[in-house]
Structure 1
Amino acid sequence: MNVELKKELPTYEEQQDFYIKLRSKVTDYVESKSGKAGKFTPYLLFAPDLFHLLVKSMFDDRIDAKSKTLVGSGILYFITPVDILPEGLIGPGGFIDDIIVATFVVNMLLNKFSPEMIEEHWAGDDKLLNVLKKVSETSDSLLGKLPTRSLLGRFIKTSKKGTAVKS
């Protein structure tokens, strides 16, 4: 299936600029909430890195089309303004659900491809596998605190069945 983009992709410099701006925005938010926002605040710093990994994975020729469909679903979840915890309404704290979905997508990639291949796209300070472990260990606890946990849980269960559709 050939898909043509109607608009040119941003240049590498523009992509890096977006990544740096997003990371800066999340960092500023986390620092402003330091000590007040609870144990999940540090996880917000993973949002830009996970988004970056997903975008870079989309352009990796070693990743098959079916896997890229899942990756694309994760990217869409990040950029869609209406999701379970919308960033437009609650600020960077709204990235928590995006982080959980992205972690699920990256774990699926790691089940199919070598960790070294996926880590090539990782821009974070911590090792990718350590980040995924931290997020996975706390996501159940986090899901239990979300008022919309049943919706996010349903998305993840649906995704596990192979149909990553965001409602």
Structure 2
Amino acid sequence: MEENQALTTDPKFAELDEFIDNLPDKKGMLIGVLHKAQEIFGYLPAEVQHHIAQKLDIPESTVFGVVTFYSFFTMKPRGKYQIKVCLGTACYVKGGQKISDRVKEELGVTGDEPTPDGLFSVQEVRCLGACSMAPVMLIGERDFYGRLTPDKIPQIIESYRRKENKK
């Protein structure tokens, strides 16, 4: 009972409920609802998946199956700025692992966990589709960096920190 009370008082759940309640037809909207939930919460923990299953009147196993099938959904917290470092063949050969190592060193992380301030997380990916600019990384959905060297990483990361400090 306490869990349900916490859910109903959490403004993030209220925002998700409003989104779901305003859908003209809930049938077939699971992926859209999951995208919205991940936008609101930053990730899709078990309690969010449970809540979505109840609101859409579908089995939790269906929600879990979709979350685990599609790579753009995550059940682990991610940073506000998600850094994807390419380790595909061209990038790897041209130093992609050194780029990834330097990013993690600058951020003080070892895996894909978010930084303590919640600003950054790092993910090593197999291809970003820009082999001619190897090694490359993508921050968020649009900020693309190519022909990287480890020495460029501190300046790039610092530009995002400055952006946050201006807010």
TM-score, normalised to structure 1, is 0.25
TM-score, normalised to structure 2, is 0.25
Which structure has more relative contact order (CA 8 Å, sep 6+)? It is 1
Name the one with the larger helix percent: 1
Larger-gyration structure (1/2) = 2
